[in-house]
Amino acid sequence: MSLEIISETGCFGGIQGTYQHTSEVLGCDMRFSVYTPPAAAHGQVPVLWYLSGLTCTEENATVKAGFQRAASELGLMVICPDTSPRGDHVPDDDAYDFGKGAGFYVNATEDPWAKNFRMYDYITKELAEFVGSVGMTDMSRQGITGHSMGGHGALTIFLKNRDTFRSVSAFAPIVSPMNCPWGEKALTGYIGSDRAAWAEHDACALLERGGATDANILIDQGLADNFLEGQLKPELFEAACEKVGQKLTLRRHEGYDHSYFFISTFIEDHLRHHADALK
């Protein structure tokens, strides 16, 4: 992969960088950000993936989440990919919850989306292969987290790649896209109308099918979140975990909404959760 450096700057003793490359998987140019902690100068460091939500790019978490100080202390490399393919030639939709900015971390099979909207392969194969080729990363120690649509991505990618990721967490995730308007719209558009195929992209269904993992899953949810009842439904994942005996820490917080004020409040807890698992 040939990288173009968009920016690099010192941050808590490490480097916060943003990079661009041409993605063969997505058929377009893509950006992603990487925080490299100072510990990387002395040996390989574990990797934490952060997947963002609807309408976001790689920039949102990089600028607003405030993870760099803790990542520096804990020696974690944090990678923030974009949320969908980009470019004038990439198909789009007028709505905020479909098309560009709303890739849902799936491989689309329906036209016109199938050619470019392959975010699952982009994250788990193309970008992961590049990260693994960088000598400072220890790919035997990977964790994944995300927010909202990105929380859906983190949970499903973790559950479908249990030998790859040691740890997982999420902020206000879409836990069952099969059972909410955002998910039903996205899965119909990208995958088609066969609900059996949707189950491959639903954290509750994947957990019930695959059984419990060794990980303790951490989820934070704000109770002032406007999307809590209609879109997120954490109780569905809670029930699925109880059914299969999956360890889950689900924390509900009064007064917190769906914003990055919520994420920045609890991001250090998540980094420590992953650092403990990735020792």
Beta strand 4-11 with 14-23: parallel, antiparallel or unpaired?
antiparallel
Active site residues: 148, 225, 258
Backbone angle region of 55, left / alpha / beta, with phi > 0 → left and psi within -120 to 50 → alpha: left
Q: Are 140 and 162 in contact (CB under 8 A)?
A: no
Beta strand 14-23 with 28-36: parallel, antiparallel or unpaired?
antiparallel
**Which residues are CB-neighbours of 184 under 8 A, at least 6 positions away?**
177, 178
**Which residues are CB-neighbours of 82 under 8 A, at least 6 positions away?**
30, 31, 32, 52, 57, 58
Backbone angle region of 255, left / alpha / beta, with phi > 0 → left and psi within -120 to 50 → alpha: left
Query: DSSP label at 24?
Result: T
**Which residues are CB-neighbours of 41 under 8 A, at least 6 positions away?**
none
The Cα–Cα gap between 213 and 74 comes to: 24
The Cα–Cα gap between 233 and 113 comes to: 27
Q: Is 182 helix (H, G, I), strand (E, B) or coil?
A: helix
